[in-house]
Chain A
C-alpha cells in the first residue's frame, strides 16, 4: 500500500494482513554530487514502487527517509531510529530499509529492521521498458528475501 489516503483507509480495515513497512532511504546532496544524488533517488523510488505493486496487500510503503549527505551521521541515525520506534509501535512486525548508500551498512546492527543495500543502477540512458526490466530483475531477488523473512517469523 502506498502513502495515500485511499490506501491508508484500506490499511486501517485490514491491519492484521499488512505487517510489513518498507522505508526507502536516500541522501540529498547539492553541488557536484547533485546528479548522483538524483540518480540514486530515482532508482530507489522506481524500485520501491515496483516492489509495492508486487506486495500491495502486505506492505506499506512509507515516505522516503531523506537527509543531507553532509549531515552528521550519528544524528541521522538517531533520526531514523525515531522513525523505527514510531513504526514499531503501530503494529508492523517487519521493517525493511532499502537504500543505495553503502554507509548504512555500518549501522545495520543498530537497527531493528532489515537493511537492504543495493548498488544504484544508472537509469538515465534507458527507455521505459528497459528500465522496467532492469528494476524487475532486481526486485525479483528482493521478493524472495521478503517471503523468506515472512516465513521465518510465522
Chain B
C-alpha cells in the first residue's frame, strides 16, 4: 500500500516537474527571443525611404514632406506616414528635421507661432526650435529636433531613420 502511494506521488512529482519545466521553457523561449530580436532587426532600420520631394525643389524655406513606408508592429503590418521638414541651409546643405517634439512627442510645425514666424513651434506646451532644430531655452523641449540622414537618388530625396542631433555648443 504505502509503497504504492509513494510511487504514485513520485510519479506525480515527476510529471508535474516535467510539465512545469515545459511551461517554463515555453515562457523563456519568447523572452530570449525578445531579448535578441532587436539586435537581429536593427539592420533593417538602415533603409532609406523615397520621398516625393525633388532635390531641385528644396529651398531655403522649410517645407513639409510626407513619406510612407511599411512598418511591422508585432504581427501587424501597416503603412506609416512620417513627416520631415526639409530645407537648404546657408552652406547649401540639405537639412531634414523630424517633426517629433523632444518634450513629449507632439508634432511641431514651421512658422505656426505668429510671434515667432521663423521657428518651429509645438502647440502642446509652446515648445520652440530655431531653424536648425535647436531647442529654444526657456521652452519645455530639452533637446534639438532629430535629424534624418539624407540621400539623393534619381533626383529625389531619400530619408533614413531620424537620429538625435550630434552634440553642438
Q: Which A residues contact B (CB, under 8 angstroms)? A: 10, 14, 17-18, 53-58, 128-129, 132, 143, 147
Q: Is the CB of A57 within 8 A of B68?
A: no
B104 and A17 contact, CB distance less than 8 A: yes
Interface size on B, residues (CB 8 A): 15
Could you show 29 A-B contacts with beta carbons less than 8 Å apart?
A: A10-B104, A17-B103, A17-B104, A17-B125, A17-B140, A55-B106, A55-B123, A55-B124, A56-B101, A56-B104, A56-B105, A56-B106, A56-B107, A56-B124, A57-B101, A57-B103, A57-B104, A57-B106, A57-B122, A57-B125, A58-B104, A58-B106, A58-B124, A58-B125, A128-B68, A128-B79, A129-B81, A132-B66, A147-B123
Q: Give CA–CA (A18, B101) in the complex, Å.
A: 14
- When distances are taken between beta carbons in the complex, the residues of chain A under 8 Å from B104 are 10, 14, 17-18, 56-58
List B residues at the A interface (Cβ < 8 Å).
66, 68, 79, 81, 101, 103-107, 122-125, 140
Chain A, interface SS category: helix
Measured between C-beta atoms, what is the minimum distance from B23 to chain A in Å?
24
Q: Whole-angstrom distance from the CB of A107 to the nearest CB of chain B?
A: 29
User: What CA separation (Å) do A55 and B109 show in the bound complex?
Assistant: 12
Interface pair A57/B81, CB less than 8 Å apart: no
* Distance in angstroms between the alpha carbons of A132 and B83 in the assembled complex: 13
